[in-house]
Structure 1
């Protein structure tokens, strides 16, 4: 489709980056949607979290037993060492920590399994969503941004569900459990430890609130970066030819600079958490030692209490840093979820499961009628204005006109890539709106300007998505387009794998796509500048082969080279969305109108 016929934008820069000072988005909604999406897995997730709670509880009980061992050792140093009692407590601790490890292992196994299934389901849903999206969505969205949602955003969600949710529950249990245990042992020392850590907790909350918006920007900028790279490197030949390197680099640098800024701010603020928590933890150790020493001197506590408190302080302050890390991850995941679910909630094509009318490609003759068709990519500007025409089965119809006249748009409407604003299009007397899009596509084979080959053998590329094509039909089609001799020179002939290393010319790739169209048993054929990439001699051979193989098919040919459509049964001359002339080549030349001017100007340019 030409640029003037489509609203397709250069959207490598699109995406809606949050402006500086913008209020952070609501994170409850994306998390609510994510929880709702995972509701079928919630029982297993809850079970895994319960295991995490039990395992953490066992860990919390341990330091209190260490206090008893310490007191027994201290008493033994003054008299007789009670090895039996010490051994019993040590055995109890070993069993306790062993059970903690087992429960934590099972919890990790369950969460890893569930999160990968959720990630797989998300990728599948996004892939299915792409198939249900109208073409107009991709007219205003870069492919790189869509790919970023499938890869970066889904991976971010998976990692958070796998690691951060369990860590959050474990940290919460560790935090409050340690606090309860410390209060049960000694209130004075507990209050001293809480005051020391309260400062760090307040700073952590402040930093999290300030860093939230930068995680949103980071995910958005990452999507823009992917979009720009995909766009530039997929067309790097054009960029090189037109010396667009400098502009491409400038755009890349601008996006990269914004990504650096948002990533640096978010990661710097999240990176402050660990040093801050280490400082608070060390401060807690000092406070416990000082206060504990004073209480020991007074005889209020034993030395074992100080030892247990040293461990509990670590267990108490460690969750604070985990809270900070989890909060960072949750923010990134909320931003990723927002992008994923926004994509999944995009307006889809109309559901056609209720349509019962079906056209069989074998029975359709190929009569096509356009009746008062109107269409515009936007409501303000019509591209096709009240177009009507009747094409008989088996006719070769050429659609010509200047760029932006609406030629490709007309074909897109015929294929139901877009829906008409008013009027109707009929195939075999049946309105195409009354049958499914899939059924419409079964009636057509198409060759476009842009060749598309996938990594597979030559034969697989030609037989694409068709199981009923024989090897003989593949060879016949390749002979018809003059490709057979070339294929035989390949290392493995028709079984040669085509990949990035294959040295096929643009013309050879186009010939393969033409052969692919030929082997499809469809009554209608669309050629959108199908011969634009081949030389004149090959073009003549293709035209001759097409005339033979299109016999009995209704063919729509979009061509700028008017010399290739002189033998068309009907030529539709379009300008500004209207068909201003129609007839065969001789009739239109005799009229000395717009077509005659176009035809003669091409030969004047050639001379």
Structure 2
């Protein structure tokens, strides 16, 4: 709880002054809102007085009540305007901060989180803080000021009768405290359940094409259904646990219950001569108005708890460790890549790769092969700094990549993976993402080289078609768009997660042609899933348990009759490979054509 409060305080720091101003305006508005009821009560006492004429006093009270209504309206509008403007500025500040932070964290940070948890922090949690700032804080202020003002006046009228009015409030507050304690204890479970639903929904939608292709709709939908059913069961049990205390509290705090207490207590007081009949009017008017603010206080307090949790999650993103940049970046003298004693651990305990030494020379293809979990992807993604090594070093042109400017690193290293992400923007903008200053002719040239130009031209608005609206690509077409992006970048180093491994048969040949153009004359680090695609690689590194256990060309490794040979023979039996089958690296090692020699 202390951490949540500290996180909320840190996030609200830029607008604390305006938030205090809004609270002060709301407090004035709340006091002014009680004054007309006090005026009515006092007016009744004046008009029912059998003494001398008090008409002037009656008009004065009426004017005060009417003036208070105007003051309430002015300050209510002012508090709402100040809080909403402050909230808008804070949301802009938070969202900009989140976008900036997400642009500077290692890409591996996203791999450790599902889309639902990131979406919840960036969207849902920021929205939760909006309701707290624009509404809940002001509701809490009014819920405190109105009862205090009313009770102060009622104590002045008759303190004994005021205690009678307070009695239902005390009982109701006790019951509501029990309810809120039960609800608060389950809030972390609620957040985890919502995160699971968000994650399963986003993943189901993002993977719907593959799911439907392989007939797994029911299984994929079942995961979402299970998450929804689990949430439903949890929520129902949560509600049942608080149902009785909440219902009892609302009955005790209802205006009817308070009115009954006022009438019963008033009858006893008046008949015994302890209270004048006319003095019962203030309690009937203001007593029943005490319950609504109290109920609003509990609801707003609950929303405040949610906002504190949201602020903590947003704060965790804002405080995520960024990719370190050198204060004095160095520029490599070449593009050759060297892994020296590279180690990396995701959790600080078990190493995903351990003691890797590897040299990548210009114009060569190095393939990483091995079983799932052997460290292939980890080793490859360390080169574009998806994460930083925990031991050893990776250098380009003799310079540790941690000492390079990130812009320089990404001008030298491009990566193309199976899991393509295209933004909801024009096709041209998606390709131009690698070089925002590229003109349309360069974009078209990259698309032609990636074998996707004709597909784009067939769209309703060609290169100006917006992805997700009038541009919808198949998996293979989207892959070629991402390859066109990498072609436009024209980097001397390519990290390639065998992009055609899961392409449909119609697209695979086109994707392979595009990849051959992309990798021509470059340094290529290839994560290989199908051994048939790397038979002509210059070097094949076989990984197991995070270590290179074999290395060499295809023929050498087969002749050694080791791990690679066993994998190869298994591949031949299951895939029915033929020697003349086209492979990716057959053309990769061709002579450089227009390569970037930076």
Which bracket does the TM-score occupy, shorter chain normalised?
0.7 to 0.9
Which of 329, 344, 364 is 2:303 aligned to?
Answer: 329
Q: Indicate how the Cα distance of structure 1 residues 195 and 120 shifts in structure 2: closer, same or farther if over 3 A, else same.
A: same
Distance 1:461 1:136, change over 3 A: closer
Distance 1:571 1:90, change over 3 A: same
Q: Do 1:270 and 1:324's aligned partners in 2 also have CA atoms closer than 8 Å?
A: no
Partner of 2:233: 257
Q: 1:332 to 1:435 in 2, by over 3 A?
A: same
What does residue 181 of structure 2 align with? 209
- Hey, what does 1:148 align to over in structure 2? 120
Q: Secondary structure at the match of 2:485?
A: helix
Q: Could you report, residue by residue, the CA deviation over 1:258-289 in whole angstroms, capped at 9, with x for unpaired residues? A: 23333564687556544331154223331454
- Over 3 Å counting, the alpha-carbon distance change for 1:259 and 1:351 in structure 2 is farther
- 1:449 maps to which of 404, 409, 418: 418
**Alignment-derived partner of residue 375 in structure 1:** 344
Structure 1 residues 54 and 496, CA, compared in 2 at 3 Å: closer, same or farther? closer
1:6-405 → structure 2 map (5 Å cutoff):
27-74=1-48, 85-134=57-106, 137-236=109-208, 241-242=215-216, 243-244=218-219, 245-246=221-222, 249-262=225-238, 265=241, 273-278=249-254, 279-287=256-264, 289-291=266-268, 293-294=270-271, 298=273, 301=276, 303=278, 305-346=279-320, 348-349=321-322, 351-352=324-325, 354-359=326-331, 365-378=334-347, 381-405=350-374
Whether the 8 Å CA contact 1:365–1:393 is kept in 2: the answer is: no
2:579 — aligned with what?
Answer: none
What is the CA–CA distance in structure 2 between the aligned matches of 1:207 and 1:604, rounded to whole Å?
65
Change (3 A) 1:275 1:163: farther
Aligned length: 571
Whether the 8 Å CA contact 2:395–2:401 is kept in 1: the answer is yes
Offset of residue 463 of structure 1: 1.2
Q: Secondary structure at the match of 2:290?
A: helix
- Counterpart position of 1:510: 479
Q: CA deviation at 1:368?
A: 0.9
1:577 aligns with 2:546: yes
1: CA distance, partners of 2:311 / 2:545: 43
- State the 1:138 CA deviation: 4.3
Deviation of the 1:183 alpha carbon = 2.0
Distance 2:479 2:151 in 1: 72
* Native 8 Å contact 1:529 1:558 kept in 2: yes
- The runs of at least 4 aligned residues of structure 1 exceeding 6 Å deviation read 78-82
Residues 365 and 563 of structure 1, relative CA distance in 2, 3 Å threshold: farther
Which runs of no fewer than 5 residues in structure 1 stay unpaired? Answer: 1-26
CA contact (8 A) 2:426 2:466 kept: yes
Deviation, 1:325, is: 2.4
Distance 2:529 2:77 in 1: 67
Q: Alignment partner for residue 466 of structure 1, among 435, 438, 442?
A: 435
Alpha carbon RMSD of aligned pairs, Å? 3.3
Counterpart secondary structure, 1:499: coil
Deviating more after overlay: 527-536 vs 416-425: 527-536
1:159-185 per-position Cα deviation (integer Å, ceiling 9, x unaligned): 123222222222222222222211222
Output one character per residue of 1:77-113: Cα deviation in whole Å (capped at 9) or x when no partner: x799876654443233211211122112211211222
Aligned to 2:587: none
Deviation at 1:215, TM superposition (A): 3.5
Partners of 1:207 and 1:533 in 2: how far apart?
A: 53
Deviation at 1:379? 5.2
Which residue of the partner structure matches residue 493 of structure 1? Answer: 462
Residues 160-169 or 248-257, more deviating: 248-257
Query: Structure 2 regions of 5+ residues with no counterpart?
Result: 577-598
